[in-house]
């Protein structure tokens, strides 16, 4: 009888502490075992969701080369551009009327008016060490029957008082006058090829234009038997390109 009572007590105690189906008590709360059993294994990659598609990269505009603007004209306008060769090799044209054989370095024999035409060219870079003279070529044609000349050389120019300028030209000339004392009314210039020097004092206006007083001299520096020399003086107009 005692053994039956003990066995019945053990059976009732086991039933009391046995968990309810699919649930367990944890500190007074219930946990759903079905949820735990239905979750996938943490190392099972077959049931993981596919990664989201990467968004398409935005379309970047094609870079364009910046527009290059032309540099502004130099402050001095035409003159500086001409000296840099911006208008070709021709720098200036000068035209004038000169009183023929007027001294002051020789006595007067000839007379008349010379028509003078001269072209000045842009100074090349290799003339920079000698203060950038402009090469020139010109002619002076006498309106009468006296000495004519063609010449070439170099012209140096210096500016002062804003728009005023001074020129010095040096070079050589070839003439068609007398070399010996054949005609008392003609200069005996000694050599056919002579040295030539010239000066101009002028004023430049509106960038391109200039007006100047001109004096030139030709002689042979006493290298020939005769050396009477010849000077002409007058006014010239210049146009710079």
pLDDT one-digit tens code per residue, 21-78? 444 444 444 545 566 556 665 555 555 555 555 555 555 555 555 554 555 544 444 4
In a domain, 155, yes or no: yes
Question: Once rounded to an integer, what is the mean pLDDT over residues 164-183?
Answer: 96
pLDDT value at position 75?
45
pLDDT value at position 62?
54
In a domain, 146, yes or no: yes
Q: What is the CB-side half-sphere exposure of residue 11 using CA atoms within 13 A? A: 6
- Which tokens sit at 184? 């008392």
Question: Once rounded to an integer, what is the mean pLDDT over residues 217-224?
Answer: 96
Question: Once rounded to an integer, what is the mean pLDDT over residues 102-110?
Answer: 92
Mean pLDDT is lowest, of 32-46, 73-87, 93-107, 186-200, for 73-87
Query: What DSSP letter does each residue of the chain carry, written as one string?
Result: -HHHHHHHHHHHHHHHHSPPTTEEEETTEEEEHHHHHHSPPTT--TTSPPPPPPPPPP-PPPP-PPPPPPPPPPTTTHHHHHHTTBTBSEEEEEEEEEEES--SSS-----SEEEEEEEEEPPPGGGGGGT-PEEEEEEEEESSSS--EEEEEEEEEEEETTTEEEEEEEEEEEE-SBSSSS-TTS-B-S-SEEEEEEEEEEEEETTTEEEEEEEEEEE-TT-SS----EEEEEEEEEEE-
In a domain, 17, yes or no: no
pLDDT of 14 > 70? The answer is no
In a domain, 84, yes or no: yes
Q: Provide the domain count of the chain.
A: 1
Largest Cα–Cα distance in the chain? 185
- For residue 174, the tally of other CB atoms under 10 A from its CB is 16
In a domain, 104, yes or no: yes
Selected residue with higher pLDDT from 166 and 66: 166
Selected residue with higher pLDDT from 235 and 58: 235
Q: Which of 1-10, 25-34, 150-159 has the highest mean pLDDT?
A: 150-159
- For residue 229, the tally of other CB atoms under 10 A from its CB is 21
Q: CA–CA distance from 236 to each of 13, 84, 160, 233 (Å)?
A: 140, 24, 19, 10
In a domain, 183, yes or no: yes
**Residue carrying the six token digits 């234009």:** 209
pLDDT value at position 47?
52
Question: Once rounded to an integer, what is the mean pLDDT over residues 166-172?
Answer: 98
pLDDT value at position 23?
41
pLDDT one-digit tens code per residue, 114-142? 999 999 999 999 999 999 999 999 999 99
pLDDT category at 88 given cuts 50, 70, 90 is confident
CATH code assigned at 229: 2.40.160.20
Range of the domain at 195: 78-240
In a domain, 43, yes or no: no
Q: Which residues pair with 218 in a beta bridge?
A: 196, 230
pLDDT value at position 7?
52
Phi, psi for residue 163 in degrees, rounded to 5: -115, 0
Percentage of the chain beyond pLDDT 70 is 64
Phi, psi for residue 57 in degrees, rounded to 5: -60, 145
In a domain, 66, yes or no: no
pLDDT value at position 17?
44
- Cβ distance 179 to 223 under 8 Å? no
pLDDT of 209 > 80? The answer is yes
Q: What is the CB-side half-sphere exposure of residue 138 using CA atoms within 13 A? A: 30
């Amino acid at each position: 009888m005692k053994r039956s009572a003990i066995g019945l007590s053990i059976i009732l105690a086991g039933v009391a502490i046995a968990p309810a189906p699919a649930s367990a008590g944890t500190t007074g709360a219930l946990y759903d075992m079905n949820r735990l059993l239905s979750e996938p294994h943490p190392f099972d990659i077959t049931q993981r969701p596919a990664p989201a598609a990467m968004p398409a990269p935005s379309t970047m505009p094609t870079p364009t080369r910046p527009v290059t603007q032309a540099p502004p004209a130099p402050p001095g306008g035409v003159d500086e551009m001409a000296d840099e060769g911006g208008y070709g090799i021709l720098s200036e044209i000068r035209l004038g009327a000169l009183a023929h054989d007027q001294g002051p370095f020789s006595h007067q024999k000839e007379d008349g008016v010379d028509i003078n035409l001269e072209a000045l060219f842009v100074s090349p870079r290799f003339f920079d060490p000698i203060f950038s003279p402009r090469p020139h070529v010109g002619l002076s044609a006498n309106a009468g029957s006296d000495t004519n000349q063609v010449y070439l050389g170099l012209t140096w120019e210096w500016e002062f008082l804003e728009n005023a300028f001074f020129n010095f030209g040096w070079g050589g000339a070839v003439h068609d006058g007398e070399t010996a004392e054949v005609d008392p009314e003609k200069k005996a210039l000694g050599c056919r090829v002579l040295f030539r020097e010239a000066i101009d004092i002028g004023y430049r206006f509106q960038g391109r234009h200039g007006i100047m007083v001109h004096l030139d001299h030709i002689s042979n520096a006493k290298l020939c038997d005769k050396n009477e020399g010849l000077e002409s003086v007058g006014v010239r107009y210049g146009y710079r390109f």
